[in-house]
Amino acid sequence: MKYCQIHSKYFGCVDVHPNKSQICVMDKTGQMILNKNFRNNFDNFNQIIQPFLPEIVIGCESTYTYYWLADGCHQAGIPFYLGHALYMKAISKKKQKDDKIDARTIADMLRTSFFPEAYPYPGEMRPTRDLLRRRHRLVRIRAEAYSHIQMTAHQYTIEDVGPRATKNREIRQTLQDRFKDQDLMNIIASDIDVIEVLDPLID
């Protein structure tokens, strides 16, 4: 894990949430100068940090809501650092926890070179990455449907229901007929429906 080695006059760290966020600004001695809540908008954020420019760096934890902050800082030429959420355990381990404490904790980590750095994915590449992540989720759901058909067949000692049978469309359409109980047939039919819907989406 790489820890940021940053030399700056001010350290501005943001605890990012979906609609509003908390910013804490510290100087290099650890003196807290500002700890304020604001609505997520880069113009609002830029006005708050104006008194500290250009001698401030900005950091935040890697969550799904950091894009606007990273892009805004990049366009404005403000140094931005993204923290690796898994390794930022100092926040989650605190007994007292709220937005102000979290923002201050992040600022301390950045100021004292204990800020575990993550890679801020470039804005122009993020949609493709997010599409691939979504496709990965759909593939997992389809795989669960494949497995569930096979496990149900194993439970009721129905043979020859393996990966080939579930992945071959023609064979798959006949699988529910191997079960005598109507409820079991409905279960298999529901799994087949999930697979049929997901196949073209994944493609």
> What is the per-residue pLDDT across 18-32, written as a single tens digit (0 to 9) for each?
999 999 999 999 999
What is d(CA 100, CA 21) in angstroms, rounded to the nearest whole number?
10
Which pLDDT does position 150 carry in this prediction?
96
Closest CA to 149 of 171, 130, 134, 131: 171
**Best CATH choice for the domain 10-118 from the list 3.30.420.40, 3.30.465.10, 3.90.1300.10, 3.20.20.140:** 3.30.420.40
> Domain extents for the chain?
10-118, 126-202
pLDDT digits (tens, 9 = 90+) for 32-81: 999 999 999 999 999 999 999 999 999 999 988 999 999 999 999 999 99
Per the model's pLDDT, the better-predicted residue between 85 and 95 turns out to be 85
Which pLDDT does position 203 carry in this prediction?
95
Which pLDDT does position 92 carry in this prediction?
54
Non-local CB neighbours of 81 within 8 Å, separated by 6+ positions: 4, 6, 57, 58, 59, 110, 115, 117
Strands 10-15 and 20-27: antiparallel
Closest CA to 7 of 34, 27, 23: 27
Query: Is residue 102 pLDDT above 70, yes or no?
Result: yes
Cβ atoms of 82 and 59 closer than 8 Å? yes
Closest CA to 185 of 144, 160, 152: 152
Residue position matching structure tokens 């301390």: 108
Which pLDDT does position 65 carry in this prediction?
92
What is d(CA 149, CA 161) in angstroms, rounded to the nearest whole number?
8
